[in-house]
Amino acid sequence: MDLPNCKHLTFFGVHLNSLAGKCVGLVVIALFVGTVLLPTFSGLGGVIQHNNVVLIHNRSFPSNQAVKQKFLEVPQIVWGLNNQKIAFARACLTARMLNRTLLMPKLSASLFYKEVELLKPISFDKVFQFERFNSVCKGFAQLSRYSDVSNQSDVIELQKGSGRRWTLEKDFEQLTQFSKHPYDAHEIVRVVGKNPFLWHDHWPAKDYAKVFDCLALVEEISREADKVISKIREIGMEVRSKVLMSSSSSESVPYVAVHMRIEKDWMIHCKKLEQRLNISEICSSKEEIMARVGNIPGLKTPVVVYLAVADTLLEDDTVLNGWKDGLLPFEKKKLGVFEIYKKQPYIFQSAIDYEVCLRSDVFVGNSFSTFSSLVVLDRTQKMINMGDTKLCVSDVRWPSYAYNIRGMGDSPHPWVTNMSDTSLTAISYGTNHIAC
């Protein structure tokens, strides 16, 4: 850029004849351009977050123009733990689409399907690790606390549609609209009127898997799960020692976990589901489950079989009877860990059982159960993270089976999650089309 002719330099209408005056004028002009004009080009650079403010950093022209961080607020998340996990992931992915940070939601410590007013709210960070989530999910999804919001009154409400007329396309169109002006100017978008589990699903299974990968239980729950697993392996060690006539082993003693869905609420639900979908592979009797687990190919016995069952809803007190020789069934009371569960709220009890099933050497569940489906998704993702590519071979690292679907020789059918699914519908509502 050519400099002005110093002989006739004029600054705001005043002629500057002296050399010093001319220099002062040039400095003032430079400062004016740097502080007023250049920030308008800040979109050319990256973004730096400082406290609760996002600073746009221009790689060519540094600037400190402040843009408020924006948030998404969702209703209290309800129902079963794993329905809550799906709802949370759906809220995270919605926030990601809107280019917003999800405000830490309320989960539900108790389990009521219809009496919503009886649900006991519990903060997300009382169940899952807040800091770890943000660390692992950095660059993909993030959580914020309400204390991070600078103006909690700057809110626009987003009423989620419902009913048959509210289609997947209409829902996506609404979200796209709220990601643009003038809606995107508000600090908070507050979704009202619907549990996130019931929102339409616009994201592939692998995106959900990414969010689930960022979730880790708080130490209090994890320690309780450790106690249950240690007890299972301790009993397994005692049994193995008697059979092998050896008092010690350097190997971790394997165990089988069965998510045994035979409670009264499930049997009512699954029978209605079979009628509605015209599918006979949803409900399974106690006898059918026991027979199929006993026919798992290559299962080494004796082995402890942990039965993950909702004791308060179970009307059959004979679940420990009738198992094949070599299968040693245990539930909470026989295992001696009932007190660990009894003192905890529902959501903690379910989280402990989930960990016990997730970490089992062999898992057997029902493909129409959200609990079972998420355990298999986590186990599948775990194998993928370890570099496994052949997930349906007989010697897979962490085998899972669906007892409601018949496999070879009346065994439960091998089961892994199809990570190429374009949505999580199969996991949210169940399927008899499993990947293996």
Q: What is the pLDDT of residue 9?
A: 45
141, two tokens: 């999804």
Within the chain, which residue ranges are assigned CATH 3.40.50.11340? Answer: 71-214
Q: Which CATH number describes the domain made up of 71-214?
A: 3.40.50.11340
Domain 219-429 maps to which CATH number in 3.40.1130, 3.40.50, 3.30.530, 1.20.1070?
3.40.50
Residue-wise pLDDT for 271-315, tens only, equals: 999 999 999 999 999 999 999 999 999 999 999 999 998 766 666
Q: What is the pLDDT of residue 265?
A: 82
Q: What is the pLDDT of residue 251?
A: 60
Q: Measured between alpha carbons, how far is 87 from 102 in angstroms, rounded to an integer?
A: 12
Order the strands of the 53-57 sheet from edge to edge: 46-50, 53-57, 66-68
**Which amino acid, one-letter code, is at 418?**
N
CA nearest 105: which of 204, 12, 206, 196?
196
- Burial of 387-403, coded b for 16+ CB within 10 Å and e otherwise, reads eeeebeeeebebbbbbb
Residues in the chain where the model's pLDDT stays below 70: 1-68, 112-118, 244-251, 311-316
Judging by beta carbons within 10 Å of its beta carbon (0-12, 13-18, 19+), is residue 94 exposed, middle or buried? Answer: buried
The number of C-alpha atoms within 13 Å of 300 and in the hemisphere containing its C-beta is 10
The number of C-alpha atoms within 13 Å of 347 and in the hemisphere containing its C-beta is 28
Q: What is the pLDDT of residue 259?
A: 97
Judging by beta carbons within 10 Å of its beta carbon (0-12, 13-18, 19+), is residue 194 exposed, middle or buried? Answer: middle
126 with 105: CB under 8 angstroms? no
201 with 175: CB under 8 angstroms? no
